[in-house]
Structure 1
Amino acid sequence: MHVAHLSLTDFRSYESVELGLEPGITAFVGPNGQGKTNLVEALGYVATQSSHRVATDAPLVRRGASRAIVRCLIHRDDRRALVELEINPGRANRARLNRSPVSRPRDVIGLLRTVLFAPEDLTLVKGDPSERRRFLDELLVSRAPRFAGVRADYDRVLKQRSALLRTAAQAKRGRRRPERDSAFEAAGAGDVLATLDVWDQHLARHGAELLRGRLELVEALRPFVASAYAALAPGSEAVDLAYRSTLSTGGDTDEDEGISVVAGHDAQTLSTDLGKTLEERLRERLLEVRASELERGVTLVGPHRDDLFLGLGDMPARGYASHGESWSFALALRLAAYDLLRADGGDPVLILDDVFAELDTQRRRRLAEIVAPAEQVLITAAVPDDVPHELSGARFDVAEGRVTRVR
């Protein structure tokens, strides 16, 4: 798989740009702040319909414009696909495939598969659980695009259920006199609990499907991560992954404190350990923590509070790994994602966004040697010397809003 053409209109700093690309190595070189990352961010957006830099779509639209358009021509084997995304902040985005509209933008997810390395990847090891959940879910969708719908359904139910809990918690906190407590319980508590029962069923159904996908993904990913880390840091301690689930028998915990139980490595193992299906156990756990949820106004159980445990030797990488070990682990996660997608069939496009400037000489060389055989590698760098000689190929200079091919 490779991208043959990229066209941007009012995306980030670009009013308009047309860029022809080829298989192999391509480097975008120029000073910081000139728009190199904007180019590869656009490709990442086509693949995942999210940005690795910002949480919302509004910053992706050039100042003064009402929308942005990203067009991408993808070659895979002997097939071609032209994907067009229209980004409309505050309104529904639109998508076209081979110039024909599709019913939902997420219907084009999976046509382009990318693995993007960026300085922000260090947060996969050192950051909050939300970063690791996002890593898992984006990879899950890349492997099986139907999970885009599963995530959307889960997020929708979670939002509705959490809004109900907030309303109930605010109502309870707003009571001032004891005699009003019984009135509230009689008038409103029954309705709230009945409605919560309905949302519990929806959350458990969609949550179990997402959880099952994540568990199976972690099991598939583990050997690739171990192999990639050993290649990047030979002689170092071994690394491993495990999935931390809120389907534990202990009390609810705050996200930053971690989850008390490390679950089994796949859905079948976890279901066997629990003696129940994932959906049954999710419903059961929601009932167990309901009093706390009504008091705090938040949903305390579900995949949105789970974590991916990263182990280095006998210790958790977060808090114990050195800066170099953390970088190696983050790179190993991305390389493992690439190897896993490749094992599924077809090379994804590798994107290395200003990564080499962050690495020491040894890690730069090893990473370059590992990624060089990929079908298409796109690199951004501030200066030509930041691109390892193992990754020589086509080059574009990026400056003052212009992208120029260097002959």
Structure 2
Amino acid sequence: MKHHDVTIVGGGCVGLSTAKHLSEQTDLDIAVLEKEHHLAEHQSGRNSGVLHPGFNYPPGSKKAQFATEGTRRMKQYCATHGVPCEELGVLVVAKTDREEAYLDVLASRAEANGVEYELLDSQAEIREHEPYAVGQAAFYAPEAASVDSQQYTYALAREVQWNGVTLYTGHAVERIRKQPSGYHLTTSNSDIETTYLVNAAGLHADTLAHQVGVGHGYQVVPFRGEYYEVTPDRTKLCQTMIYPVPDPDLPFLGVHYTRRTDGKVIVGPNAVLAFGREAYQNTDVNLAELKEILTYEGFRRLLQSKTMLSVAWSELNKSYRKTAFTKAAQRLVPDIMEDDLHKSYAGIRAQLVSKDGKLVKDPLAIETDDAVHVLNAVSPGLTSSLPFGEHVATSVIEMENDSSSHL
């Protein structure tokens, strides 16, 4: 049976970033367990690939810190490792007086977080940036970028293996058992023992944490985000990124436009309850996981909100009716037509919900004496992955130092 000093469950961008920083700062024997045979099969590879520079997060918050630092560090990392990354900028378009007023909030947050921005107060100024976008005002952030998240994840994997980290693929962790000194992990391939555990299992992080008595006040509720791709002859409709003004009461941004590093333009995502943690099609159903969601006290309390019920119905409508999705897309770019959009990929967000029915909006990592459970690497998880992984690695190093001092 293999034994490692530190075992990281989850070979996504947060797990691999943690391995990177641990391997750079310590001589510990580190392993990463990834349940799939290929990396970036789930959240780390099924996202919009946008680097969010941090203008939408409260000053002083972990989100703001991780996003601003993460954007800067990711651009440097991509340049060093040959990962496609283009600084395109993002245009947040206001359609109503209420939305225009919220642009001032974005501006004040950008100012406090050190994010470059510009306020545009006319349709003419909007069209200087995006000729087909329509609105009465907009917020422009030039530092937003598009990155190939799959290539980034593989670059991290190559780097950590070069640093001596053991990467196991095809090792789905089925059971974690606490031992007097560390943990015993039963996987689909072999058993592994470890002194320290980092649970960065994304969609399944809460399930694994619950096995060792951690995080029982929370559960992951999966929300599927579906994307359409604009036909190649119509990609002129979006030159960079076009976003709606965010609703501060909701964690989901709404349908928006993103030009990717390969030149494709994607539109989406919606945010519909997935009937399983890996139910990527709207016809996919995992009955056991769906029952777990529907019987969860926190989910039932979440649905007591009339706002959430209204949003849920609207998002479900977009999932099953292309006409409804197109209408949402036309709010920002009226020239887009239903025939311009073709089904692309879907991702699933591991949205953490507390027992009292609250959507957990901030990063959440619960520490014990010998483990870190990353229960919520919430958006912008890709953007934040380098500083967030360093944060988790620092926690493990402190555990090791505390343990050594007691010897």
| TM band (smaller chain) | under 0.3
Structure with the larger strand share: 2
- TM-score w.r.t. the length of structure 2 is 0.27
Structure with the larger helix share: 1
- TM-score w.r.t. the length of structure 1 is 0.27
